[in-house]
Amino acid sequence: MTDQANPFAGGTAVITGAGSGIGAGLARRAGELGMTVVVTDINGPAAEAVAAQINAAGAKAEALVVDVSQPDELDRLAETVFDRHGSVRLLVNNAGIETLGFSWEIPTARWEATLNINLHGVVHGVRAFVPRMLASGEECWVANLSSVGGFGQMPTQAAYIVTKHAVQSLSECLYLEMQVKKAPINVCSIIPGMLKTGIFNADQGKGEPDSAAAYRKAMHDMMAAYGMDLTEGCRIIMDKMAAREFWVDTQPEMTDQILGGRIGFFQSRQAPVLADQVKQLLGMEA
């Protein structure tokens, strides 16, 4: 990205779930591009560590503890950030968890956490920040973390996929709402393919049914073997957001493949089918 094409050379970025994974990668990249980065996470030490990395690299960052599953905390975050920094150029509603297991075996607490973090955290992030962004009259960005899973189907990943379908729909509607308002707010749907993060680590499965452990390991191993480098993926994401693109995908060929399958599914109106690759991941005979 050239300096002339970098609208993120300044301004404040707020990124939720930025203590690890894609959120941390985007926070570091935003700092490299010249933004003041507000690193938020429910894990305070993790957020502090990422902010320290950004500051050590010569950029500016601060860490705040935020639980996005609590709407009031997002209201307080917005109030705090606008009071301290005056405006927000980039909001990334990134915080999310992966939940595995058969739909009926996932405990209530894990279902609720997945919905509250992955979906309601985005909804209330938008609700808390957008009125202030509109009032500023400045060009700014709202980016929501969807996934290639937001267009697909996967047994034992229903909880996660439900939230990503919903986030994608929210982002599409929000984009149109900004057109109605004639607002200078760029809405982006971030659609990662498979990036190398810790989302499938064993310690992330707390609260899942025991039957999910084998599948979590299979996904962890596949990500380790075939996932895209996190730094490269986050560079692509920031470049596409800077170009004001709505579809911010890291691996377009993967997006195309999944979208193609989805379109065919809708057109055929046939029942869902277990693909051979899915059977292998689930330990079934292909």
d(CA 76, CA 128): 9
Task: Provide the token pair at 246.
Answer: 């709505």
Tell me: pLDDT of 17 over 60: yes
How much is the pLDDT for 281? 81
Nearest by Cα to 255 from 198, 189, 196: 189
Tell me: pLDDT of 286 over 60: no
Backbone phi and psi for residue 251, each to the nearest 5 degrees, phi listed first: -135, 85
Judge whether 23 and 229 are in contact, CB under 8 Å: no
Tell me: pLDDT of 20 over 60: yes
Which domains are delineated in the chain? 7-281 (3.40.50.720)
Round to the nearest angstrom and report the end-to-end CA distance of the chain. Answer: 44
The pLDDT tens digits of the residues spanning 156-182 come to 999 999 999 999 999 999 999 999 999
The pLDDT tens digits of the residues spanning 221-247 come to 999 999 999 999 999 999 999 999 999
Strand partners, 245: none
Q: What is the CA radius of gyration of the chain?
A: 19
Contacts of 280 (CB under 8 A, 6+ apart): 286
Angle at which helices 121-136 and 71-85 pack, to 10 degrees?
30
The pLDDT tens digits of the residues spanning 63-90 come to 999 999 999 999 999 999 999 999 999 9
**Which of 160, 175, 215, 226 is the catalytic position?**
160
160 assigned to active site: yes
Strand partners, 94: none
> Considering the entire predicted model, what is its pTM?
0.95
